[in-house]
Amino acid sequence: MGRYGKRADLIVHGHEPFNAETSLAALAEDSMTATDAFYVRGHGAVPEIDPAAWRLRVHGLVDRPLDLSLGTLREAFREHTETATLQCAGNRRAGLIAIRDIAGEAPWGPGATGTATWTGVALADVLALVHPLPEAAHVGFDGADLCPEARPPQRFGGSIPLAKACRPEVLLAWGMNGEPLPPVHGAPLRVIVPGYIGARSVKWLERIELRARPSYSYFQHVAYRLLPEDGTPGPGAGMPLGVVALNADVLSPADGETVAAGPVEVRGYAFAGGERHVARVDVSLDGARTWSQAELLEDLGPWAWRHWRLTVDLAPGEHEIVVRAWDSSAATQPEDEAGLWNPKGYVNNARPRIRVRAVA
Amino acid sequence: MGRYGKRADLIVHGHEPFNAETSLAALAEDSMTATDAFYVRGHGAVPEIDPAAWRLRVHGLVDRPLDLSLGTLREAFREHTETATLQCAGNRRAGLIAIRDIAGEAPWGPGATGTATWTGVALADVLALVHPLPEAAHVGFDGADLCPEARPPQRFGGSIPLAKACRPEVLLAWGMNGEPLPPVHGAPLRVIVPGYIGARSVKWLERIELRARPSYSYFQHVAYRLLPEDGTPGPGAGMPLGVVALNADVLSPADGETVAAGPVEVRGYAFAGGERHVARVDVSLDGARTWSQAELLEDLGPWAWRHWRLTVDLAPGEHEIVVRAWDSSAATQPEDEAGLWNPKGYVNNARPRIRVRAVA
């Protein structure tokens, strides 16, 4: 068992702050990701919070600000449980770094994502009690974690549009996979914004602010923005990330693995953000010339990825396996990573490609 | 002036039923598309309807069916006007036909799309009065136009999810660009489903049915579905189309045009369906190696395309201009059409490429 109750097979990108991704083998076990295998993306030390003293302040462009204890939150509002995939905007960055180095950003592989059930209350129910003013258009979140990398150093934060915040799927969660939310995942309370990049699901939540404009947090206004290839990070530069772009990767076999020739099960995940779902996943063994449709596995609802699998017959020798997912708008993934490189290394959603060697 | 009050410069793909797309020059004139230039996609003869005798039936999985005259509709519900882009699922099919022929489908260019204001009532307001039953999950629409191409021949129809139907942007419209809706565009009443393929904006509406499952109309269950490259159209085959995939094309200069060397304005449209918006448009003159950002023109709201422009400096000689749009999820367009070919020729959303010759 590693730090924070995590399994030893997590791939650790940093110890302080703690950043670790789930191994492909652990992701491949099940469409649901076990809590002790779930990836952690942190920008500061895990704060120590006394749940009995913790308060949530809801203020800003509202008619009636609130200041709530955890007990009041749990007593006043109806409990909801939802299955949702979280995915870091830096998931699969390693594929971009392979093209050109990205200084100061961790080389996340395809394991900066996972799917869990989350239990809490609907943010919409809380917002209904504060009566947002007509000029409120965004909902900002502030956590308790101090992030030294931000300029100036500040607590983690971000915002989502009010229209999204009012949708029933957005939760303030205290539970994960049927157990109390672990401290490393944001206890006592975190936001869960299904379909959005993980950064908007702010952990260790302390403050909700109704705003006319998006948050000026470093993590909304400077970081987590897609810059053009020749761009420079700065306040307001590039496009803010929110809804997750269609993505997919292969979980098994591993890239570079040697397998027995004959039937081989290829398995992976595909995730369509926002209000879209995964409609099809194709696998090619001949360099994207012809494709076979993979079987989509368990449907965990509108906010979760789909695992998929296809058994292919591999003759002895070297093989490249290429995969492409399609979402419900009939959009598919970009062919390759070359056109996706960006200075902060976000949103690598190119078709995954792996090489395997089959031996008789 | 051509048939149905259309300008003579429409590109006519068929006379009976009438099918015609807007010329690139007409689209380039303005972000709003004039009614007399707006594309027409029909599957049957334009029906002759007496508005005084016309009725709208709303039935199916509802507590209280309705049968409404146009007068009642206009009196009972609040009027809404909305700017929305319509885009045919077959827009840009010509680019797919260039790879391999598609029998029985018209070679639409990039003009099977346009943006207008639509005036009518919110479908949600009508649905609120019929009280959908808990098992209702889809809303089916039937028009008055008999379509000989369907098997068996039938009136045009289709459906959208109830959740979308309840969104305020979905209209039952009697007005277009501030004038009465013309017969060729669906008078007396049509559906407008912003962000969805044009086929769901059913014209000459006569019947709305609340359903547990999507419509079994030929145009939902057989046509307007994305098949795999080696697929065969049939009931339920392929994925149903709904939300429009991110798309873009160049309106000026025209492909193959000869222009004066020096500064040349490149202008086009980009459209992100569903709840996404166009976040960036890039233009490349060196075969997608380096890109310059185009200026996004007038923002017509969440349901409309963006026109864009960039002035490039062209030396005398041959040039290829490649464009890619990005949506608010940081998704971009597929590199080229080769991977997008499908048996019915839908959803060509590859990066547009044009060739121009600059002369001194």
pLDDT in tens, chain A (360 residues): 678 999 999 999 999 999 999 999 999 999 999 999 999 999 999 999 999 999 999 999 999 999 999 999 999 999 999 999 999 999 999 999 999 999 999 999 999 999 999 999 999 999 999 999 999 999 999 999 999 999 999 999 999 999 999 999 999 999 999 999 999 999 999 999 999 999 999 999 999 999 999 999 999 999 999 999 999 999 999 999 999 999 999 999 999 999 999 999 999 999 998 889 999 999 999 999 999 999 999 999 999 999 999 999 999 999 999 999 999 999 999 999 999 999 999 999 999 999 999 999
Contact residues, chain A to chain B, C-beta under 8 Å: 226, 228-230, 239, 241-246, 273-276, 279-280, 282, 288, 290-291, 293, 324, 326, 328-336, 339-340, 346-347, 349
CA dihedral (B184, B185, B188, B191) positive or negative: positive
How close does chain A come to B241, measured CA to CA in Å?
6
- Chain A to chain B Cβ contacts (< 8 Å): 97
Token readout for A155 is 């607590």
Distance between CA atoms of residues A16 and A43, nearest Å: 9
- Residue numbers in B near A239 (CB within 8 A): 279-280, 326, 328, 330
- Residue numbers in B near A288 (CB within 8 A): 339
How close does chain A come to B272, measured CA to CA in Å?
10
Instruction: Give me the pLDDT at residue A1, please.
Output: 64
Element (H, E) at B282: strand B278-284
Closest chain A residue to B196 measured between Cα atoms?
A329
How close does chain B come to A308, measured CA to CA in Å?
17
Instruction: Give me the pLDDT at residue B1, please.
Output: 64
Instruction: Give me the pLDDT at residue A303, please.
Output: 98
Closest chain B residue to A197 measured between Cα atoms?
B329
What ipTM is given for this predicted complex? 0.94
Per-residue pLDDT tens digits for B141-192: 999 999 999 999 999 999 999 999 999 999 999 999 999 999 999 999 999 9
- Residue numbers in A near B226 (CB within 8 A): 279, 326, 330
CB contact under 8 A, B326 and A226: yes
Per-residue pLDDT tens digits for B255-306: 999 999 999 999 999 999 888 999 999 999 999 999 999 999 999 999 999 9
Place of tokens 């797309």: B21
- Is it the case that residue B203 has pLDDT exceeding 70? yes
CB contact under 8 A, B329 and A245: yes
CB contact under 8 A, A331 and B349: yes
Instruction: Give me the pLDDT at residue B2, please.
Output: 74
Nearest-CB residue to B334 (from A244, A274, A332): A332
Per-residue pLDDT tens digits for B17-50: 999 999 999 999 999 999 999 999 999 999 999 9
Q: Give the residue from B226, B329, B348 with the most A CB atoms within 10 Å of its CB, the best one to mutate.
A: B329
- Residue numbers in A near B288 (CB within 8 A): 339
Nearest-CB residue to A242 (from B246, B328, B349): B328
Name the maximum alpha-carbon separation found in chain A: 71
CB contact under 8 A, B332 and A324: no
Distance between CA atoms of residues A91 and B55, nearest Å: 54
Instruction: Give me the pLDDT at residue A3, please.
Output: 86
- Residue numbers in A near B229 (CB within 8 A): 290-291
Nearest-CB residue to A329 (from B273, B324, B332): B273
Q: What are phi and psi of A159, to 5 degrees?
A: -150, 165
Instruction: Give me the pLDDT at residue A275, please.
Output: 87
For residue B253, cis peptide bond before it (omega within 30 degrees of 0): yes
The structure's pTM equals 0.95
Place of tokens 């145009």: B219
- Residue numbers in B near A290 (CB within 8 A): 229-230
Distance between CA atoms of residues A172 and A169, nearest Å: 10
Instruction: Give yes or no for a contact between B26 and B7, defined as CB atoms under 8 angstroms apart.
Output: yes
Mean pLDDT score, B218-244:
97
How close does chain A come to B71, measured CA to CA in Å?
33
Amino acid identity of residue A17, one-letter, is P
Nearest-CB residue to A330 (from B290, B336, B346): B346
SS (H, E, C) chain A: CCHHHCCCCCEEEEECCEEEECCHHHHHCCCCCCHHHCCECCCCCCCCCCCCCCEEEEEECECCCEEEEHHHHHHHCCEEEEEEEEECCCCCHHHHHCCCCCCCCCCCCCCCEEEEEEEEEEHHHHHHHHCECCCCCEEEEEEEEEECCCCCCEEEEEEEEHHHHCCCCCEEEEEECCEECCHHHCCCCEEECCCECHHHCCCCEEEEEEECCCCCCHHHHCCCEECCCCCCCCCCCCEECCECCCEEEEEECCCCCEEECEEEEEEEEEECCCCCCEEEEEEECCCCCCCEECEECCCCCCCCCEEEEEEEEECCEEEEEEEEEEECCCCECCCCHHHHCCCCCCCCCCCCEEEEEEEC
- Residue numbers in B near A340 (CB within 8 A): 332
How close does chain B come to A297, measured CA to CA in Å?
17
Contact residues, chain B to chain A, C-beta under 8 Å: 226, 228-230, 239, 241-246, 273-276, 279-280, 282, 288, 290-291, 293, 324, 326, 328-336, 339-340, 346-347, 349
Q: What are phi and psi of B8, to 5 degrees?
A: -70, -15
CB contact under 8 A, B228 and A328: no
Q: What are phi and psi of B219, to 5 degrees?
A: -85, 0
CB contact under 8 A, A332 and B346: no
Provide the β-strand partners of residue A59: A209
DSSP B94-118: HHHHTTS--TTS----TTSEEEEEE
CA nearest neighbour of A17 among A147, A205, A182, A200: A147
CB contact under 8 A, A288 and B331: no
Mean pLDDT score, B129-139:
98
How close does chain B come to A67, measured CA to CA in Å?
32
- Coil/strand/helix, residue B218: helix
CB contact under 8 A, A242 and B349: no
Element (H, E) at B161: strand B154-161
Q: In terms of DSSP bridges, do strands A138-147 and A247-252 run parallel, antiparallel, or are they unpaired?
A: unpaired
DSSP state of B160: E
